[in-house]
C-alpha cells in the first residue's frame, strides 16, 4: 500500500507551488473584504449571516469548486506529459495508488489552503470582537463552516483528478476541467431539468414522484449538497430537522462524487500505454 | 531463475509496430547491454518490462513474475532509471530519494545514496534547478534504493559528462558485483562494451544480434587499422607503400603526413611491418585500432551485417599483440582522435569484466 507515500509527496509538492500562496491570500482577502463591507459600524454583526448569505454564495459555491478543479485537473495528466509519471511508476506504485494518492494529497493541500485562508480573517474578527468593535464572533460556526468549504473543495479535486487520469494530454484534461466547472456551477439545473423532462416516461411507473427525483438531482450537485448541509449546520439542524432526508441524500452524493470519478478515471488510466 | 524473459513479444501502436516477435532472455546476475539506434524499440521494450506499456502479443516475465499482473511486486525488487523522465521541480533531491526509499519500504539512508551518486552537496536544492546530468544522478540514487535484485537503466549516460559516465559504470559494476542483474540500454556502443557481459542489438523492433562484444566484433570480421609512424625524413617511399598495398589481407594504405594508415585483416600486422622494414623504412612506432565499435554497430543496425552469428562467446585474441618489442601497441584503444570519450576507453579494460 503505497498510497500514503504518494499522497504525502503530492501534498508536499502542491503546497510548495506558488498557486497555493496566491490561493490563501485570495481567500483571506475576500473573506476580510466581505466581513468589512457587511459590518457597517454600529450595526450588528452576525457570523451566520456573513457565512450563509455572503461568503457562501460568492466564495464557496463558485471559488472553491474552481480552485478544486484547478488543483486537480493536471494531477495525473501533468505528470504524464512532463515525464515525472515515469519516475513515479518506476517505483512500486500501482496506478490506483497514484490516482487515489493524488486525490488525498491534493485534497489535503486544498483543505490546508481553505483553512489558512479562512482562519486568518477569523483571527482578525475574533480580535475585533474581543476588543468590542463588533458583536460576539461565533468561532464555532465559522470553523464548522470552513470544514464544509474544505469538503466541497476535496470533492471537486476528486472529480478533477478522475478527469485528469482519464485524459491522454494536458489539453484534454484542461477541457475536461472546464467542462466540470461549467456543468456543476452553471448548467446543473438546466441539464438535470432537461434530463428529467426526457426521462419522465421512465420515472412515471416508479414509486417516486417527479418532484422527489428533481429534489434528489438538485442535492446530487455537490455544491447544492454542501450548501444544504452547511446551512443546516448553521441553523443547528445538521442531520436533523425537516430536511434530514435531503441531507442524507446530499451526504451520500458527496461520498459518491469523491469516489466514482477517480474510479472511472482509473479504469481508463489503468489500460493506457504510458 | 531468469531475470527478464520476453517470449514472442509484439507491440503495435496505432501507427507503428514498435517491437516484433521479440524473444529475449537476461540471466540472473549478468550485465546485459541492450543496443539499438533511436527508434529501434528499446524504450518500448523496457516500458513493457516495467508494465508502462502492455504487449499486443507475447509474455513478459520479470524475476519470475508476470509483468502485467505483478508489476508492483516486480518493481519492489527492481531499480529503474527511466529514459525521458522529469523530476518534481519543487521537491529537493533529498525529498526525492526519501520518497523512493519509502516507496520501496527500504531502510536506506538517503544521504548515503545521494553521496554514492555524488549529489550530497546539492541534496537540499530543489530538483527543478538541477542540470540534466544531476537529474540523471538523482534518478540513479532513487533506483539504487532498497538494493534491487534487478537494475534497469534506460540510456543511463545521457546528459552525463565523461567523468559522470565513468562513475555510472563504476556503480553498475559495483551493483553487478553485489549480485544484481543489470539491464542497460544505450545507443552508444562504447558505453555498453565497458560494462556488459552480453549485448543484444535491436533494429526495427527485432533482435538482430546477441553475443559478447568480442563475439560481435568477430562476427563482423574484425578489420584492423594500423597507424605506423615512420622514422627518418620524408616518410615511406612510394615503393614501400606499394609493397605493403600488394600484401595479402591489406585492403588500403593511406598516407597521413609522415605516417601510414593501413587497413588490414587481423593476422596481417606482422607482415605489414616486415614488408616496410624489408623496403628499408624505419618503423618508429605503431598503434593498432580494432574495427571501430561504431562501424560494428552501424553494420548491424544499418543492414550489411552477417546474419545472427554462429560463433559462441568471446574467444577473440583481444590480448594478443605483435611481439615486436620496440612497438607501442595499444589494443583496445578505440579512439586515438580527440574523442571526449577518451577517458572512457582508457578505463574500458579496467572496467570490463
- Nearest chain B Cα distance for residue A93, angstroms: 6
Nearest Cα to Cα of residue B151 among B128, B169, B133, B135: B169
Contacts of B80 in chain A (CB under 8 A): 90-91
Long-range contacts (CB closer than 8 Å, 24 or more residues apart) made by B317-323: B318/B214, B321/B288, B322/B269, B322/B270, B322/B273
pLDDT digits (tens, 9 = 90+) for A42-53: 555 677 777 777
CA B156 to chain centroid: 10
Q: How many separate domains does chain A show?
A: 1
User: What pLDDT was estimated at residue B161?
Assistant: 87
Return the number of other C-beta atoms located less than 10 Å from residue B52's C-beta: 22
Q: Which residues contact A48 (CB under 8 A, 6 or more apart)?
A: A138, A141, A234, A235
Is A46 part of a structural domain of the chain? yes
Domain with CATH 3.40.50.300 in chain B: 2-217
Q: For residues B23 and B8, what is the distance between their CA atoms, to the nearest angstrom?
A: 5
> Residue B157 phi/psi, 5° resolution?
-90, -5
Is A269 part of a structural domain of the chain? no
Provide the pairing of β-strand B150-154 with B181-186.
parallel
pLDDT digits (tens, 9 = 90+) for A123-159: 887 887 788 777 777 888 888 889 999 999 999 999 9
User: What pLDDT was estimated at residue B307?
Assistant: 45
A91, B142: Cβ pair inside 8 Å?
A: yes
- Nearest chain A Cα distance for residue B44, angstroms: 10
User: What pLDDT was estimated at residue B303?
Assistant: 60
User: What pLDDT was estimated at residue A39?
Assistant: 61
B75, A13: Cβ pair inside 8 Å?
A: no
Contacts of B47 in chain A (CB under 8 A): 273-274
User: Helix, strand, coil proportions of chain A in percent (round to 5)?
Assistant: 80, 0, 20
Is A197 part of a structural domain of the chain? no
Alpha-carbon dihedral sign for residues A14, A20, A21, A24: negative
User: What pLDDT was estimated at residue A235?
Assistant: 83
Contacts of A91 in chain B (CB under 8 A): 75, 80, 99-100, 103-104, 142
On the 0-12 / 13-18 / 19+ scale of CB atoms within 10 A, B261 is middle
The superfamily in CATH containing domain B2-217 is P-loop containing nucleotide triphosphate hydrolases (3.40.50.300)
User: What pLDDT was estimated at residue A223?
Assistant: 93
Size of chain A, expressed as the number of residues it contains: 274
Q: Which fold has domain B223-289+324-351?
A: Alpha-Beta Plaits (3.30.70)
Instruction: Quote the ipTM score.
Output: 0.86
Nearest Cα to Cα of residue A199 among A219, A220, A213, A188: A213
User: pLDDT class for A256, splitting at 50, 70, 90?
Assistant: very high
Domain range for residue A7?
3-185
Is A119 part of a structural domain of the chain? yes
Q: Which residues contact A258 (CB under 8 A, 6 or more apart)?
A: A103, A154, A155, A158
Q: For residues B263 and B260, what is the distance between their CA atoms, to the nearest angstrom?
A: 10
The DSSP secondary structure of B210-259, one letter per residue, reads EE-HHHHHHHHT--EEEEEEE-STT-S-HHHHHHHHTSTTEEEEEEETTE
User: What pLDDT was estimated at residue B292?
Assistant: 57
Domain with CATH 3.30.70.100 in chain B: 223-289+324-351
Is A57 part of a structural domain of the chain? yes
Is A206 part of a structural domain of the chain? no
pTM: 0.78
* A250: pLDDT strictly greater than 60: yes
Tell me how many helices (H) and strands (E) chain B has.
13, 14
Is A172 part of a structural domain of the chain? yes
The DSSP secondary structure of B94-143, one letter per residue, reads HHHHHHHHHHTT----HHHHHHHTT-GGGTTSBGGG--HHHHHHHHHHHH
The radius of gyration computed from the CA coordinates of chain B, to the nearest angstrom, equals: 23
A5, B99: Cβ pair inside 8 Å?
A: yes
Contacts of A82 in chain B (CB under 8 A): 86
* pLDDT > 70: percent of chain B: 79
Name the residue facing B90 among A6, A13, A92 (closest C-beta).
Answer: A13
Rounded average pLDDT over A207-234: 88
Contacts of B105 in chain A (CB under 8 A): 92
Give bridge partners of residue B147 from the DSSP assignment. Answer: none
Name the residue facing A92 among B13, B75, B91 (closest C-beta).
Answer: B75
pLDDT less than 50: residues of chain B: 306-353
pLDDT digits (tens, 9 = 90+) for A52-101: 777 777 778 888 999 999 999 999 999 999 999 999 999 999 999 999 99
Helix (H) or strand (E) holding A90: helix A84-90
Is A135 part of a structural domain of the chain? yes
Amino acid at each position: 500500500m503505497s498510497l500514503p507515500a504518494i499522497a504525502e509527496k503530492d501534498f508536499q509538492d502542491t503546497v510548495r507551488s506558488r498557486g497555493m500562496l496566491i490561493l490563501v491570500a485570495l481567500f483571506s482577502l475576500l473573506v476580510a473584504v466581505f466581513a468589512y463591507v457587511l459590518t457597517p459600524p454600529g450595526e450588528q454583526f452576525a457570523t451566520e449571516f456573513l457565512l450563509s448569505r455572503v461568503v457562501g454564495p460568492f466564495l464557496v459555491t463558485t471559488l472553491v469548486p474552481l480552485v478544486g478543479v484547478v488543483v486537480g485537473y493536471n494531477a495525473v495528466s501533468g505528470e504524464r506529459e512532463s515525464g515525472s509519471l515515469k519516475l513515479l511508476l518506476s517505483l512500486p506504485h500501482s496506478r490506483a495508488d497514484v490516482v487515489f494518492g493524488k486525490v488525498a494529497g491534493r485534497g489535503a493541500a486544498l483543505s490546508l489552503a481553505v483553512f489558512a485562508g479562512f482562519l486568518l480573517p477569523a483571527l482578525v474578527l475574533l480580535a475585533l470582537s474581543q476588543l468590542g468593535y463588533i458583536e460576539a464572533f461565533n468561532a464555532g460556526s465559522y470553523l464548522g463552516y470552513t470544514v464544509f468549504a474544505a469538503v466541497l473543495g476535496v470533492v471537486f479535486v476528486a472529480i478533477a483528478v478522475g478527469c485528469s487520469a482519464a485524459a491522454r494530454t494536458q489539453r484534454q484534461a484542461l477541457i475536461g476541467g472546464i467542462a466540470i466547472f461549467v456543468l456543476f456551477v452553471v448548467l446543473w439545473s438546466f441539464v438535470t431539468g432537461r434530463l428529467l423532462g426526457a426521462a419522465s416516461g421512465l420515472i412515471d411507473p416508479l414509486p417516486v414522484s417527479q418532484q422527489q427525483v428533481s429534489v434528489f438531482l438538485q442535492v446530487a450537485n455537490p455544491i447544492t449538497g454542501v450548501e444544504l448541509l452547511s446551512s443546516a449546520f448553521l441553523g443547528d439542524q445538521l442531520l436533523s430537522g425537516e430536511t434530514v432526508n435531503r441531507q442524507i441524500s446530499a451526504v451520500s452524493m458527496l461520498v459518491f462524487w469523491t469516489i466514482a470519478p477517480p474510479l472511472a478515471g482509473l479504469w481508463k488510466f489503468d489500460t493506457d500505454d504510458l | 531463475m531468469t531475470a527478464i524473459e520476453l517470449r514472442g513479444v509484439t507491440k503495435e501502436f496505432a501507427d507503428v509496430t514498435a517491437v516484433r516477435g521479440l524473444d529475449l532472455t537476461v540471466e540472473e546476475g549478468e550485465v546485459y547491454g541492450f543496443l539499438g539506434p533511436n527508434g529501434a524499440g528499446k524504450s518500448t521494450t523496457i516500458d513493457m518490462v516495467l508494465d508502462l506499456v502492455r504487449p499486443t502479443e507475447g509474455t513478459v516475465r520479470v524475476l519470475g513474475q508476470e509483468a502485467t499482473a505483478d508489476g508492483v511486486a516486480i518493481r519492489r525488487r527492481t531499480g529503474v532509471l527511466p529514459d525521458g523522465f522529469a523530476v518534481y521541480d519543487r521537491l529537493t533531491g533529498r525529498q526525492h530519494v526519501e520518497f523512493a526509499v519509502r516507496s520501496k519500504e527500504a531502510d536506506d539512508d538517503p544521504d548515503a545514496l545521494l553521496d554514492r551518486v555524488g549529489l550530497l552537496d546539492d541534496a537540499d536544492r530543489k530538483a527543478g534547478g538541477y542540470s540534466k546530468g544531476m537529474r540523471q544522478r538523482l534518478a540513479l540514487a532513487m533506483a539504487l534504493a532498497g538494493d534491487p535484485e534487478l537494475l534497469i537503466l534506460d540510456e543511463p549516460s545521457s546528459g552525463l559528462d565523461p567523468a559522470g559516465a565513468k562513475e555510472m559504470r563504476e556503480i553498475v559494476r559495483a551493483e553487478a558485483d553485489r549480485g544484481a542483474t543489470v539491464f542497460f540500454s544505450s545507443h552508444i556502443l562504447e558505453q555498453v562494451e565497458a560494462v556488459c557481459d552480453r549485448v543484444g542489438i535491436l533494429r526495427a523492433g527485432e533482435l538482430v544480434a546477441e553475443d559478447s562484444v568480442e563475439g560481435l566484433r568477430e562476427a563482423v570480421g574484425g578489420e584492423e587499422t594500423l597507424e605506423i609512424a615512420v622514422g627518418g625524413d620524408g616518410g615511406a617511399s612510394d615503393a614501400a607503400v606499394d609493397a605493403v598495398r600488394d600484401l595479402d589481407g591489406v585492403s588500403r594504405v593511406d598516407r597521413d603526413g609522415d605516417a601510414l594508415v593501413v587497413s588490414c585483416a587481423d593476422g596481417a600486422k606482422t607482415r605489414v611491418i616486415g614488408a616496410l622494414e624489408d623496403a628499408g623504412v624505419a618503423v618508429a612506432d605503431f598503434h593498432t585500432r580494432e574495427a571501430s565499435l561504431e562501424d560494428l554497430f552501424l553494420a548491424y543496425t544499418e543492414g550489411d551485417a552477417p546474419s545472427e552469428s554462429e560463433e559462441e562467446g568471446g574467444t577473440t585474441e583481444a590480448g594478443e599483440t605483435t611481439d615486436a618489442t620496440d612497438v607501442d601497441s595499444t589494443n583496445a584503444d578505440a579512439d586515438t582522435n580527440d574523442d571526449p570519450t577518451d577517458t572512457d576507453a582508457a578505463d574500458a579494460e579496467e572496467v570490463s569484466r
